[in-house]
Each structure stands twice: as structure tokens, then as C-alpha cells.
Structure 1
Amino acid sequence: MVTYKILPDVERCIKCGGCIVACKQYNDVPVGKGVFRIRIVTLNEGEEGEINIPMTCMHCDEPYCLVVCPRSAIYKREDGIVLVDKDKCIGCGYCFYACPFGAPQYEKKGLFGSKGKMDKCTFCVQPYNPKNERGEVIEREPMPRCALFCATKALLAGDRKVITKIFQERGAARNLR
């Protein structure tokens, strides 16, 4: 079975914000303030050695957010994608404090759904997958829009084995410089 991952390449990110716009546009959320399923953190801004880090849910192998959730609202699919069931979420915030990447977000104005419920990257799989005539979700290969529209390919997403190989090749090429 394929397992999915998303990984940022900090040497390629130019902080253009295309990933943020693609995410918000696909998820039908106004650009501006509010919940950000992806954001760019800059270290040493304006200085030599500035690093831009696209930060989103990493769909961890062992997600701390899932472990600390008292309502089991966070779950991991067999393909490695970590999602939240907003009907179960009570908005306690434990997941926010447990996540080392700051992925869980809470919108107080309800842009993504229920007020005060946790929201995070869904790997662009839910709830937008099409349904068949019986109302069953038609599964398709997930592809986060942030990675799909990243101009510099600083975000790679997809089959874990494929993107791991790409990162290894990039790392080897950098060591040859």
C-alpha cells in the first residue's frame, strides 16, 4: 500500500506565498487573516543565511496530536494521511500544544467549518473528493494543492518512497557543489 508524505525543501522556498494562496483557494477560504493550513516561517529574516520553511501538517508516522486527543477526533488513514473528525472535536487545544509543527489551527470565526474546532491540512482529500451515485466517496490519489502549485518545488508531496528518493537525490547533488 502507498503511504503519503509531504516534505519541505528549505533550500528551494523563496517565500512567494503561492502555496498559501493555492491552499486557501482550493479550500474556498478568503486570502488574508484566519486559519492557515500552511504558512511560511522565516529564520534570520533579512540576514545572510535566511531560511524560509513551509510549515504544514507533516502527516507524521506517529502523530502526537492523535495521541493526546481526548475524543479520538484525530485519526490516521491506512495511507498515512492524518485527518480530524470535526463532529468529535471539542476544541480543547491539546493537539495544538502537542504538535511540533504548529499544524492544528483554531478559527474563531468559523471559516473552515465549526467554530472553535481544530483545522489542519487534509492533504486535499476531504471533503472535496467526488461521490458516486450512491453517495460514496470516490478515492483518488491525494495531491495537496500547495505542493502541486509550488513554483520552485520546495514542497514535495505524494508517495513516501518517491519523495524520499527525490530528497536523497537533491541532497547528494548539493553535497557535490
Structure 2
Amino acid sequence: MARMKFLCDAERCIECNGCVTACKQEHEVPWGVNRRRVVTINDGVPGERSISVACMHCSDAPCMAVCPVDCFYRTDEGVVLHDKDLCIGCGYCFYACPFGAPQFPQAGAFGMRGKMDKCTFCAGGPDKDGSEAEFKKYGRNRLAEGKLPACAEMCSTKALLGGDGDIVANIYRQRVLTRGKGAEVWGWGTAYGPGQQQGAPARQGS
């Protein structure tokens, strides 16, 4: 059975926020809730890097450990989901999650902010797959349709990878092995042949 995981390649992320937009569009996420966000460190200075962050669907999820009503559960594919019918909006998961994944649609004291919302890996929720009730509470169930998360599919540079953890790890491992340094960080020589400079067109017949 596949174990679904996300991985973001910081060397490829260009902070376009396409993943954020794709998620909100696909699931009609309410205003004020961001299931996915892009975080940038060293903004505007050498060493700047961006990374797309959402629920990482941890194998040992801290949100599951602290929830007093046990609204979290893990699917056979390793996706961590929650039952909004059980959620009491206490906010424990919000403080326990190191990625800031749990979101609340309203401001105010916990318990009055409404039901918690988070990334579902496009796997819906406990309601019937593809049902109107499922979409209204959790968004579209793309995994049931045989598709991958919309954020990963819409990433223009393929920095954000989502799917079977073993396959994702192999893709990233291969990138690291073929990735160069400096001007070669994007694998220019690998793509266009040795001796080619970035920005210089390859000669015909070379």
C-alpha cells in the first residue's frame, strides 16, 4: 500500500504561490483559511529559499496525540484526516502542529472559531467519496478519482512533489545526484549537453 507524502524542493521553488491558489480553487477554501502557504527565508538576500508548507501527514502526528475528542484518523495510505462533526474547535492541534497546518475560519477565542480545517492531501473526509457533503466540508476527493493533490500537479517548476513516499524520495534523490553547483544548479549541462553556458543556445548538430 502506498504511503502518501509531500516533499518541496527548495532549490526549485520560485515563490509563485501557484500551489496556494490551486488548493483554494480546487476545494473552495473559505476566506481566511490557507491549507497551504509558501514560506521564504533570507528574503531578498543571498541564500534566499522558499518552501511550500501544508499538513505533512506525519507518521506520528502530534495533532492526533493531543486531540481530546479523537477527531483525527489515518487512512490506509497514510493520509491524516479529521472528522469535522467531532471537532470542538479547542485549538490543541493548532499548538501541537510544528507546521501550522490546522486553520480556523473565524477569529476569537478557541471553541468559538468554528471547526478546524487543514490540508486533506485531496483525500476528502469521512463522508461518502465524491458526495456533496464531503465536498462542502473537506473539498474535492482527488485521490478517489485516481489523481494526485492539485497543489503538486499545478507546481510550475515541479518543486512540490506529492504521492507515494518511495516514488517521491526516488525523484528527489535523482535530482540531487544530477544537480550541479552555481550555474549548474538547474542541471543545465545535463539538459543541454556539456560545455553549454546558461542562456546560450545550443548549436545545431551539437
- Tell me whether the two structures share a fold, i.e. TM-score over 0.5: yes
Tell whether the 8 Å contact from 1:20 to 1:146 is kept in structure 2 after alignment: yes
1:29 is the counterpart of 2:29: yes
Matched residue, 1:9: 9
User: For residues 37 and 29 of structure 1, what CA distance do their matches in structure 2 show?
Assistant: 8
The corresponding residue for 2:105 is 107
Cross-structure match for 1:146:
151
Is there any run of 5+ residues in structure 2 with no aligned partner, and where? 132-140, 185-206
- Greater strand content: 1
RMSD: 2.2
Equivalent residue number for residue 204 of structure 2: none
User: Whose RCO is larger (CA < 8 A, sep 6+)?
Assistant: 1
Q: Hey, what does 1:130 align to over in structure 2?
A: 130
**Residue 45, structure 1, aligned to residue 50, structure 2:** no
Q: Aligned residue for 1:134?
A: none
Identity of aligned residues (%): 50
Deviation string, structure 1 residues 127-163 (Cα, Å, up to 9, x no partner): 59436xxxxx993435111001000111101111100
Is the CA contact (8 Å cut-off) linking 1:57 and 1:101 kept in structure 2? yes
How far did residue 115 of structure 1 move? Answer: 5.3
Letter paired with 2:94: F
Q: Which amino acid aligns with 1:101?
A: F
Larger radius of gyration: 2
For residues 90 and 130 of structure 1, the distance between their equivalents in structure 2, rounded to whole angstroms, comes to 25
Moved more, 115-124 or 137-146: 137-146
Normalising by structure 2, we get a TM-score of 0.74
Q: Which residue does 1:95 correspond to in 2? A: 93
Please name the residue that 1:163 is paired with.
168
> Secondary structure at 2:70's aligned position in 1?
coil
Q: Matched residues in 1 for 2:3 and 2:71: separation? A: 21
Secondary structure at 1:48's aligned position in 2? Answer: coil
Are the structure 2 counterparts of residues 94 and 140 from structure 1 closer, same or farther at C-alpha, using a change threshold of 3 Å? same
How far apart are 1:125 and its partner, in Å? Answer: 1.6
Gaps of at least 5 residues in structure 1 are 132-136
Counterpart residue identity of residue 9, structure 1 = D
Higher helix share: 2
Paired residue for 2:178?
173
Per-residue CA distance 1:92-139 (angstroms, 9 max, x = gap):
111111111111111118xxxx952111101112159436xxxxx993
1:84 paired with 2:89, answer no
Counterparts of 1:142 and 1:69 in 2: how far apart (Å)? 30
Q: How many residue pairs end up in the alignment?
A: 166
Q: Contact 1:20 / 1:38 at 8 angstroms: preserved in 2?
A: yes
Give CA deviations for 1:8-66 in whole Å, capped at 9, x if unaligned. 11111101011011000001136xx5100000011011111111010111111111111
